[in-house]
Amino acid sequence: MVLKGPLVAAGLVAALLLGFGIARATDSVAGPPATAPASTAIPSHSHGGAVIGDLGGFSLSAAGFTLVPAQPLTVPAGARQQFAFKILGPDGGPVTRYVLNHDKPMHFIAIKHDLSGFQHLHPTMAADGTWTIRLSLPTPGIWRLYADFVTFDPAGQRLPLTLAVEATVAGSYTPLAVPPPSRTVDADTFTVTLEGTPQVNATQPLSLRVFASGAPVTDLERYLGAYGHLVVIRDGDLGYLHVHPEDQLVGGAVKFWLSAPSPGRYRLYFEFQKSDAVHRAEFTVDVP
């Protein structure tokens, strides 16, 4: 089986040649209050790094921007604690202007090194640029924490970035094996199927269909402005990409456009909403 950066599919999507990727931005524009992030529309793009085609999330610093946690990153298992951080810009000061992307100025992802324990959260920002989130890391091991956002470079150009730090949860740790590749997985009471055969450096469609009791679910609800979200993480180095689909369902499926940046094993975390509840289907894919 073959196969979760920034920026072609006929006005709906922007495909990458060297990385996974298509993401869609919000369509509304609003001027920011003095104490809130900027809310600005951006064209179709994908997240993952400052360079087109790159997976992101390898470093706490990129393009002159740095993620700075406010506290030590050794935490007890299962304790729900406030995690706070700032993004410092090239001038050394905290960043307070962000592009509102799919209803949120900041996406915060937590994942263990064995690719288990996925969490997709949305911190809130104070006037001084401090982001806070109530975070619980339930099991011992090393966790990677990704801050996925779009801001502005010193020239005023929009800049998608994914910065990351690692947290240690103390305790006895035995890594879980990554599940084998499959085109069908369960997600709570739903079954989700994966269609498509993406390739290295060749943009291909990837569709996900949701079923309930064997019947296709054709009335998915928008979650964060889209019918689905896809985070792709590469096994081994935890390279990261957050992908958004075409704006409308295609034949009842949520359709993405992907191009693998390299051979390897990847985990896909597909989120969708039904009856006001968000569900997640996790796939493993191998790229030869």
**CATH number of domain containing 271:** 2.60.40.1930
Residues with Cβ within 8 Å of 139's Cβ and at least 6 positions away in sequence, in order, are 77, 78, 112, 116, 117, 169, 171, 173
- Is 213 part of a structural domain of the chain? yes
Rounded to the nearest 5°, which phi and psi values hold at 260? -70, 135
pTM of the model: 0.83
pLDDT for 53-110, tens place per residue? 468 999 999 999 999 999 888 888 888 889 999 999 999 999 999 999 888 999 999 9
Total number of domains constituting the chain: 1
Report the 3 state secondary structure along 110-173. EEECCCCCCEEECCEECCCCEEEEEECCCCCEEEEEEEEEEEECCCCCEEEEEEEEEEEECCCC
The token pair that represents 121 in the structure block:
């959260």
User: Is residue 7's pLDDT more than 90?
Assistant: no
pLDDT of residue 10: 34
Question: Does any domain span residue 58?
Answer: no
Q: What is the pLDDT of residue 19?
A: 36
Domain extent for 247: 184-287
Determine the pLDDT at residue 20. 41
Range with lowest mean pLDDT among 18-22, 137-141, 162-166, 275-279:
18-22
Q: Strands 158-169 and 74-75: what pairing? A: parallel
**Looking at the domain assignment, is residue 129 inside a domain?**
no
pLDDT at position 54, please?
62
